[in-house]
Amino acid sequence: MHRYVDVTPTTRLWTEEHGAPDAPPLLLVMGAQASGLGWPDPFVELLAARHRVIRYDHRDTGRSTWAFDEHPYPITALAEDAVAVLDAYGIERAHVVGLSLGGMLTQLLLADHPERLLSATVMGAGALSETPYEGGELPGIDPKVLELWGRPVPDDLTLEQELDRRVEHWRVLHGDLLPFDPAYARALEAAIIEHTGHHRVNTAHGRADSDGMLRTRQLAENTVPTLVTDAPAEPVFPPPHPRHLVQVIKGARLVEIPGMGHALPPEVWEPLTKAILEHTAS
């Protein structure tokens, strides 16, 4: 069941709920420029076997308001949107799972709204901390990803050309440890485009102000049970970035998801949901 949530006078978010309404709530927070449908339906249903799962479209994605040029906002506002979604559903505290930028927003929630979290799971993200990694210098983004992100995107792509571009994007983010299924990636993006109603390229989150996101002290004082996933094929925040997260988030623990990159292919659904459900149950 879906509903819309007004988070500002000019911004409305599309949200969707799965699972029993009296089950422990779990909020899924997607990455930059990604619709909530980036959480695959079968993955959501696996979590909904034990949770009241809510996923949503960030501003400027999916069916939520696209108005960044008229009403710009900082990245930190996206974390406040997550709180507004919980408020709209009458949820006092929830388990929160964030991927990529969603993993950074989850850290902001840990730091700024710990009273709203039952637990946190952080995936595919860098640490919002100035604390250096105790193991030395952290690696940067894979050059293949940087090259892909640096390509200019024409604004007149046909639907099929845009699907081609998105499949290539997922091929690079997928990593090289698991077989890549282009048909699966294409079907997922086709569903997201149908959900959105157009295939325009979204650049809002890349242009949003990212200042004011460091939470070094607050993460070092964290009291919320936190799980960090270690994805060995991760190309954006490659190992040992997950170990750095465990270092800077007090009490965090690490679990490896074999073969995982910066994506959610079917091969990782079972081990990932198992890790999340064991974490939320504990």
Dihedral, CA of residue 256, residue 118, residue 73 and residue 151, to nearest 10 = 10
Q: What does the pLDDT read at residue 155?
A: 85
Q: What does the pLDDT read at residue 40?
A: 98
Query: Given pLDDT bands bounded at 50, 70 and 90, which one contains residue 202?
Result: confident
Mean pLDDT of the chain: 97
Query: Given pLDDT bands bounded at 50, 70 and 90, which one contains residue 95?
Result: very high
Over the stretch 16-75, which tens digit does the pLDDT of each residue have? 999 999 999 999 999 999 999 999 999 999 999 999 999 999 999 999 999 999 999 999
Over the stretch 109-151, which tens digit does the pLDDT of each residue have? 999 999 999 999 999 999 999 999 999 999 999 999 999 999 9
- Residue type (1 letter), 57: D
Distance CA 133, CA 244 (A): 5
Query: What fold, for 2-140+202-281?
Result: Rossmann fold (3.40.50)
The pLDDT of residue 241 is above 90: yes
Task: Report if pTM > 0.95.
Answer: yes
Query: Given pLDDT bands bounded at 50, 70 and 90, which one contains residue 225?
Result: very high
- Over its C-alpha atoms, the chain yields an Rg (Å, rounded) of 18
Residues near 37 by beta carbon (within 8 Å), at least 6 away in sequence: 55, 57, 62, 188, 191, 192, 195
Mean pLDDT calculated for residue range 211-229: 98
The pLDDT of residue 250 is above 90: yes
